[in-house]
Amino acid sequence: MRRHGARSGRGFGVFLAFSGAYPSTAVAIQRPSRVSDDTYKHLIRFCNSCGAGVTHRIPEGDTLARAVCDACGTIHYQNPKLVVGCVPVHGDRILICKRAIEPRYGLWTLPAGFMENEESAAEGAAREALEEANARVDIEDLYTVYSIPHISQVYMMFRARLLDTDVSPGVESLEVKLVREDEIPWDQLAFAMVKRTLEHFIADRRAGSFVTRFGDIRAPHR
């Protein structure tokens, strides 16, 4: 139920709003060189283990700058986030959700969200269908995998069987519906990964055979 969209924008806003609220241990935190605008939004300033200010430098034996705590030795790695979701299918119809959250409020998507610790990718995909559309699904197979390097995210979308049509909007959805191929709102889809996944799905269904695909999405809009 965590807000999919609330997260991607939180870093910079929080920093601006609370930049004067550093406690007494705060040290002058300089923006490190070699850090892009996007990375800087999520910049680590303090050690989450001991609370000391961190420095941004390349640790010995490493090749990239990390947030390093010289007080306790912790190195704070930052890694891509996994988003897991599915294409829930019932007969010839596909379940889609109208987003109640930013980004892309009011546009249509497939149920998907950030994978949680201590769950499998398939479990996460089923959980998101339940949370966003009160939809019970059987996850069938991995279908599309997209890297989106400029936002450091990887999407893993599964094919899924919708067990019944008793679906309704979760808190992150304004509306959910089952659509046939000619009812898909192609010009109102929230993300490139949704469009590509649906295009592949429809082509593969016609061909009678589904193939797992991977690729990168480099455009400014996912």
| Residues 41-70 close enough to bind a second copy by CB under 8 A | 44-54, 61-64, 67
- C-alpha to C-alpha distance for 54 and 32, rounded to whole angstroms: 11
Q: 19 is written with which tokens? A: 């930049």
Q: How far is the CB of 213 from a second copy (least distance, A)?
A: 8
Cα separation, 151 vs 222, whole angstroms: 9
Of residues 177 and 213, the one with the C-beta less far from a second copy? 213
Number of residues that bind a second copy (CB under 8 A): 73
| Of residues 139-158, those binding a second copy (CB under 8 A) | 141-142, 145, 147, 149-150, 152, 154, 156
Q: Could you tell me the smallest distance in angstroms from the CB atom of residue 1 to a second copy?
A: 4
Does 102 sit near a second copy (CB under 8 A)? no
Contact pattern from residue 105 through residue 134 relative to a second copy, giving x for each residue in contact according to CB under 8 A and a dash for the rest: ---------xxxxxxxxxx-------x---
Strands 153-162 and 81-90: parallel
Contacting residues for 159 by C-beta, under 8 A, at least 6 apart: 86, 87, 89, 139, 140, 141, 143, 201, 210
**What secondary structure letter does DSSP report for 46?**
B
Q: Does 192 participate in binding a second copy (rule CB under 8 A)?
A: no
